[in-house]
Amino acid sequence: MSDDCKFKIPESCREFGKGNLDERLEVARSFIKTFVEKVAPLKSVDDSDKAWTQAIRRRFIEICPEGCYALPSDPLRSKGEYLVDYTWSEEKNGKRVLLAGESEWGSGRYGRIHWTPVEDDFEKILAIKAPFKVLIFSSICKPYGTMQETDFSFDYAKDRIKPSLENYGHHIPGEVYIFIDFPQTGIPGGNGIFRSFIWSATKFGKDEVKLEDGPGGDLIRPTEFEADWKLHKEVRG
């Protein structure tokens, strides 16, 4: 894969610290824009959890920065995970973790989704220490249909995450949290959408939390690399 496809994390953003907060937030916004490119599965954006998870793994692997390695290293298997679902670690510098990520779709019976498993995975992101942390989930858009008691919206996710961040007493200055939502739209064959928000700790311990909206928009389906991805699936079975 071309180096141009790799995501870049400046050295100044690989250490903890609050001195370059604007730069860190810009890296977070750039990560979201880069990550969502070609991330939709080949079928429907409301496809199975397995299809979505493979698409997410594939993207983490594809854009892993030069000089780093991604775990897991195979989008079709979960083996190789380290502490959380996805990590980028430097090959040198003691293999320090630059990015830690979790994805949880919260799927339940009858196509409904639940916040509890998403929140459980979020707690893993809170505990691990890395300059960049990513939580990926799937809410339900209201046009999808009547909201059930267990369903949650994008705004509901923000309302639950904000106090959790505020009450957690072990933040390190410079930790950047990236939240990406791939909501269920209920539009078969549609391109789907993504939404995001960001927050960065500015001091040790508990911190005031002001969530910042990140990039959002339509998902672009895979095109030029689709044949290669299908071949990869056939080879791996």
| pLDDT, tens only, 37-56 | 888 765 455 567 888 888 89
Residues in the chain, overall count: 237
Give the strand pairing for 217-218 and 193-200.
antiparallel
Q: Is the full-model pTM beyond 0.85?
A: yes
Confidence (pLDDT) at 139: 87
Closest CA to 58 of 43, 39, 45: 39
Question: Structure tokens of 21?
Answer: 């907060």
Give the strand pairing for 176-181 and 132-137.
parallel
For the cut 80, the answer to whether the pLDDT of residue 97 exceeds it is yes
Counted domains in the chain:
1
For the cut 50, the answer to whether the pLDDT of residue 237 exceeds it is no
Average confidence score pLDDT of the chain: 84
For the cut 80, the answer to whether the pLDDT of residue 225 exceeds it is no
Lowest-confidence region among 4-8, 29-33, 84-88: 4-8
For the cut 50, the answer to whether the pLDDT of residue 234 exceeds it is no
For the cut 60, the answer to whether the pLDDT of residue 148 exceeds it is no
Determine contact, residues 125/133, Cβ cutoff 8 Å.
Answer: yes
Rounded CA separation 75/234 (Å): 13
Angle (CA) 72-104-170 rounded to 5° is: 85
Confidence (pLDDT) at 129: 95
Partner residues linked to 181 by β-bridges? 137, 195
Sign, CA torsion 219/134/35/73: negative
Angle (CA) 117-137-37 rounded to 5° is: 155
Rounded CA separation 223/10 (Å): 30
What is the domain range of residue 120? 3-236
